[in-house]
Structure 1
Amino acid sequence: MTSPSYAARRGQLETYFDRTAVEAWSRLTSDAPVSRVRATVRAGRDAMRETLLSWLPADLSGRRVLDAGCGTGALSLEAARRGATVVAVDVSPTLIGLARERTGAIAGGGSIDFRVGDMLDPDLGSFDHVVAMDSLIHYSGHDIARALAELGGRTRGAMVFTVAPRTALLTLMHAAGKLFPQADRAPAIVPITTRGLARRIAREPDLAGFALARTHRVNSGFYLSNAVELRRCGSSADPRRAPSPVPARVGAAGPEGGAR
């Protein structure tokens, strides 16, 4: 069951991504020319997407993947090209509409089911893997842990996601972000320390079967983001790729509060 704070923030995100900054995010997630600042954000998002995808099996045939907060569907498309059956969900009908327009024929045998709704909706079913790129960073530590617990109960393998770090650099980025037009600002992100995240995860009984496998930070201009992998104990990484190093820090943040 989601908390009132989760529901309130979800409503703010729906308003922002569906009505306030549609044009800005449409350009950012395309190959259209953007400002120098947004170019660094785009590069950072591309790098983060590649990181999260690299943590999934190279061959996703027969696997069911949830793209939680899929935005315009770039990550969903790459997972489907590896053979995955992807359920791609977002609160914004406009972003889902863009995703459907941009997704043509899929080579590789996979498929994408784009849906408008809540990423925690139990009716979405169970999954082999869950990906949540920059879709949890706007929520409190308590709501992040509860969201992971709800998703974990329906995840057979790994959950890969991003969280917002509490750093001096991020504080400066927040201040600079306030200089952008109001229409271009997403709802504020909620930073959380590594220890804080670990403590909250440890308190969730539904996450007892998961272990923090690795993290990786992406820093590109106005994009500062850390990927985190929670892997169900007993599930193994794809044997066809070498394991990635595990950096010491955990956290994540997007431009002026996030990117889709």
Structure 2
Amino acid sequence: MAAYAATRDRVEAYFDRTATQTWERLTSDAPVSRIRQTVREGRDAMRALMLSRLPEDMRGARVLDAGCGPGVATAALAARGAQVVAADISPQLVGIARQRLAPKHEGLVQFHVGDMTDASLGRFDFVFAMDSLIYYDRTAIDRVLGDFGARSGGVVFTVAPKTPFLMAFWGMGQLFPRADRSPTMQPHAAKRLARDLPGDLRRIGRVSRGFYISECLEYRP
């Protein structure tokens, strides 16, 4: 799908050429600004919420960490015993995730630089997609969830919810050129997504910390 590929390429350019150091620092213990601290706290809370939807003991389970970034969730999943495929479009971020992975978990993780929907990655018991779909429109999300649903037992993922703050932020973002800035988040209403997908889509919870606002959803085909 052309629209999906175009957005994916913008995301790759942003994370691999513009924001690598920012995200490396944000996902570490290094000091950050007050605004970025709220984003760090929000992401930590969301990751914990998403992980709560998966078994504590994941030995024998195969999990796709879709859009793994610097690998924080990858490490948490491997610590539970899961066989993790950590996929990200950004070679730089995958490199950071690989460097950070504890040696004792190296045998549990397969890193993949490329499209998280690559069919060659095979089937999974679970797909974990934290903030990796927030830049895509509804048509693209339907396509990705349909693909994941056909090859897994369920998907835990996030979207940017349609809150007044995010809608205003999104609206203002349309007024400015985006050549040197991050891709635009696409806010979504969970009910609207549910109408267009087969299977069961349910809201799990929302995390709001300063400039971080994200909603956890669970999809079972």
Q: Same fold (TM over 0.5)?
A: yes
Count how many residue pairs are aligned between Structure 1 and Structure 2: 218
Partner residue of 2:192 out of 184, 196, 200: 196
Are the equivalent residues in 1 in contact too, given 2:170–2:185 (CA < 8 A)?
A: no
The alignment status of 1:10 with 2:8, answered yes or no, reads: yes
Aligned-residue offset at 1:158: 1.8
Unaligned runs of at least 5 residues, structure 2: none
Aligned-residue offset at 1:74: 0.6
Question: How many Å separate the matches in 2 of 1:33 and 1:119?
Answer: 31
Q: Which residue of 2 aligns with 1:144?
A: 141
Are the equivalent residues in 2 in contact too, given 1:64–1:127 (CA < 8 A)?
A: yes
Deviations 1:127-181 (A, max 9, x none): 00001000011001011011000111100x2210011222212134457989xxx
Aligned-residue offset at 1:100: 0.8
Question: How many Å separate the matches in 2 of 1:48 and 1:184?
Answer: 28
Are the equivalent residues in 2 in contact too, given 1:173–1:222 (CA < 8 A)?
A: no
Relative distance call for 1:4 and 1:82 in structure 2 (3 A) is same
Deviations 1:12-69 (A, max 9, x none): 0111000011111111111111100000000000000001111001110000000000
Question: How many Å separate the matches in 2 of 1:196 and 1:106?
Answer: 43
Partner residue of 2:37 out of 39, 46, 50: 39
The residue matched to 1:113 in structure 2 has which SS? strand
Aligned-residue offset at 1:106: 3.3
Q: Which residue of 1 aligns with 2:206?
A: 217
Partner residue of 2:165 out of 158, 162, 169: 169
Per the normalisation by structure 1, the TM-score is 0.79
Q: Which residue of 1 aligns with 2:216?
A: 227
What pairs with 1:107-146 in structure 2 (closer than 5 Å)?
Answer: 111-146=108-143
RMSD, aligned α-carbons: 2.1
Question: How many Å separate the matches in 1 of 2:173 and 2:34?
Answer: 14
Q: Which residue of 2 aligns with 1:90?
A: 88
Relative distance call for 1:68 and 1:141 in structure 2 (3 A) is same
Unaligned runs of at least 5 residues, structure 1: 202-207, 233-260
The residue matched to 2:94 in structure 1 has which SS? helix
Aligned-residue offset at 1:214: 4.0
The alignment status of 1:160 with 2:156, answered yes or no, reads: yes
Identity percentage of aligned residues: 52
Question: How many Å separate the matches in 2 of 1:124 and 1:115?
Answer: 9
Q: Which residue of 2 aligns with 1:247?
A: none
Aligned-residue offset at 1:97: 0.5
Are the equivalent residues in 1 in contact too, given 2:159–2:214 (CA < 8 A)?
A: yes
Q: Which residue of 2 aligns with 1:235?
A: none
Relative distance call for 1:32 and 1:39 in structure 2 (3 A) is same
The alignment status of 1:105 with 2:103, answered yes or no, reads: yes
Deviations 1:106-130 (A, max 9, x none): 36x9711111010110000000000
